[in-house]
Amino acid sequence: MRKVLVIAYLYPPIFNSGTRRSLEFVNHLPDHGWTPTVLTVDSPDPKDCDASLLDEVRPGTRIERAPLWTRHMAPRIAAKFASVIDPQRLAGAIEWRVRRFWNVPDECASWIPMAVEHAVRLHAAEPFDAIYATGWPWSSFLVAEKLSRRIGVPFVIDYRDLWKPAEVEWDKTTWLQRRLNPGLERRVLRAASGVIATTESFLGLLPQELLPKNRFFITNGFDEDDFPAAAPAPADDQVRIVYTGVWRPGYGPDDLYAAVRLLKERGLSSLARLNIVVAGYAPGPAREYGIDDIVEERGRVQHAEATALMSGASVLYLPVSKGVYEHASMPGKLFEYLGSGRPILASAQPVSEVAKTLTQVGGACRADPGDVEALADILARLCESGPASIFSPRIPSELAMYTRANLTGKLALALDAIVQHPRSAA
C-alpha cells in the first residue's frame, strides 16, 4: 500500500458541498492500493460544522489537524496582557484583525504555515509517496507546493472550482487577491506533477502552457450506500419536487419559485397536486414569493435527511451557478440526484457540462436559466400528466461511471502516474 497525504481544509465536521469529495475519496482510497492520511484544519467554526458527518468517515482513517496561525498565536499574545485587558476578548480582536489582512490567496491563508510544519513532521515519522490537495480553499494548493519543496514528494492538485474569479456575485475577491493570486497559481502549476479538474471545461480554462503532462478529468459522484433502496414514490395525485442546496446570489431555486408564482397567478387548477420541499437555506423566501402554501422550506438538514428527501421525490430540481460556471461546472448535487434514481428538472444552458451529462445519462429535462415561462410550462405538464409523460428512463450503464468507488479508482491511477512520472519543482 502506497501512502498519500490528503490536504483537505474542507473535511468533516465542516458542512460544505466540497467536503463530500474529499470525504468519499478518502473512504475509498484504501480499496485501490493507497493509504490516506488527512490533513485538515483544527477547531473549525462551530457554525460551519455538522458533527454527524464524522460518522461517515471510514473507521481507521488517520486524521491530522493543524490550527490556523491566528487561532494558535492570538491567545498566546493576549495572555501577555492579561493584567490589563480580558485575554479572551483581546485574542478575538487580534485574530479577527490579522485574518482580515492575511487573506492571500484566501481567508484560510494563516493555515498555510501551521499545515506545512505539521505535514513535515508527519512525513519524517512515516514518509508519504504522494500529496493530493483539493481546492477551494487555494491555501491547500500552497500547502502542497511548499511541502513538496521541503520533502521532495510529488503532488497533484484538484480543482473543484476555478481559482480565477468567476465574476459572479458569490465569488468575491479583494484587490490584493486579484493582484497576487494569478502569480501564486502559476507557481503552483509549474511545480505540480499532476492536475485534476471536475470537468473537461475546467481543464480547458487553465493556462495550458503551465500544465503538467499528467492531466485528469474526475467528476464528482455519488455513493451507492446513500441510496440503498428506492423509496416509495409520492401518491399518484401528488407531484413532489425537491431541491437540496444553498441559495445565494446567482445560484439557487429562484427560477423555480418564480415559475410556481406565475402558475398560481394564472389560477392553474392542477397546481393543487404540486408540493415543493426545499432544504439547505433559512426559511423565508417562499413567503416573500407568496407560495408558502406550496413550498415547504426545511432549512439546513443533515446529509442523511437530504438524501432521504431526494429518494422520496417525484422530481428533483437542479439550478446551475451563473457566469463561467453556467457552462463549465457540474454541481456536486447533480451526481447525488443521479444516484437517487429520480428524474431531474434542470435550469441549465443547452451547451453546458450539465446538459451534456443529463443527455448522456437520461431521465432529465431542461429549461434555459431565466426562462420562467418555459419552466412554468414544464411544471404545468407535471401537475396535469405526471412525471412519466415527460421523463425517459435513466441509463444504468452510463450511471455506473459516476459512483464514488469508480471515481476513486481514477484518482488512484492519477496518484500512480505522478509517482511514476513526477515533474520536479521549478
Domain range for 328 is 224-401
| Domain identity same for 207 and 267 | no
Q: What is the pLDDT of residues 403-423, one digit of tens each?
A: 999 999 999 999 999 999 887
160/266 same-domain check: no
Is 425 within the bounds of a domain? no
Q: Looking at the structure, do residues 148 and 240 belong to the same domain, yes or no?
A: no
Co-location of 289 and 333 in the same domain: yes
In this structure, are 280 and 380 located in the same domain? yes
Instruction: Based on the fold, state whether residues 386 and 239 are members of the same structural domain.
Output: yes
Residue 178 in domain = yes
In a shared domain, residues 191 and 272:
no
> pTM of the entire structure?
0.91
Confidence of residue 81 (pLDDT cuts 50, 70, 90): confident
Domain harbouring 12, CATH code: 3.40.50.2000
* Residue 201 covered by a domain: yes
Domain count, the chain: 2
- Name which residue leads in pLDDT, 19 or 170: 19
Decide if 426 is inside a domain: no
**Is 18 domain-assigned?**
yes
Q: pLDDT confidence of 425, banded at 50, 70, 90?
A: very low
User: Given pLDDT bands bounded at 50, 70 and 90, which one contains residue 424?
Assistant: very low
User: Residue 230 pLDDT > 60, yes or no?
Assistant: no
Q: Please give the average per-residue pLDDT across 259-263, as a whole number.
A: 98
Whether 397 and 312 share a structural domain = yes
SS (H, E, C) the chain: CEEEEEECCCCCCECCHHHHHHHHHHHHHHHHCEEEEEEEECCCCHHHECHHHHHHCCCCCEEEEECCHHHHHHHHHHHCCCCCCCHHHHHHHHHHHHHHHCCCCCCCCCHHHHHHHHHHHHHHHCCCCEEEEEECCCHHHHHHHHHHHHHCCCEEEEECCCCCCCCCCCCCCCHHHHHHHHHHHHHHHHHCCEEEECCHHHHHHCCHHHCCCCEEECCCCECHHHCCCCCCCCCCCCEEEEEECCCECCECCHHHHHHHHHHHHHCCHHHHHEEEEEECCCCCHHHHHCCCCCEEECCCCCHHHHHHHHHCCCEEEEECCCCCHHHHCCCHHHHHHHHHCCCEEEECCCCCHHHHHHHHHCCEEEECCCCHHHHHHHHHHHHHHCHHHCCCCCCHHHHHHHEHHHHHHHHHHHHHHHHHCCCCCC
Q: Span 379-384, mean pLDDT?
A: 95
How do residues 287-334 score in pLDDT, each as one tens digit?
999 999 999 999 999 988 999 999 999 999 999 988 888 999 998 899
Q: Are residues 175 and 233 in the same domain?
A: no
Statement to judge: residues 90 and 230 lie in one domain? no
Same domain, 341 and 265: yes
One domain for residues 254 and 169? no
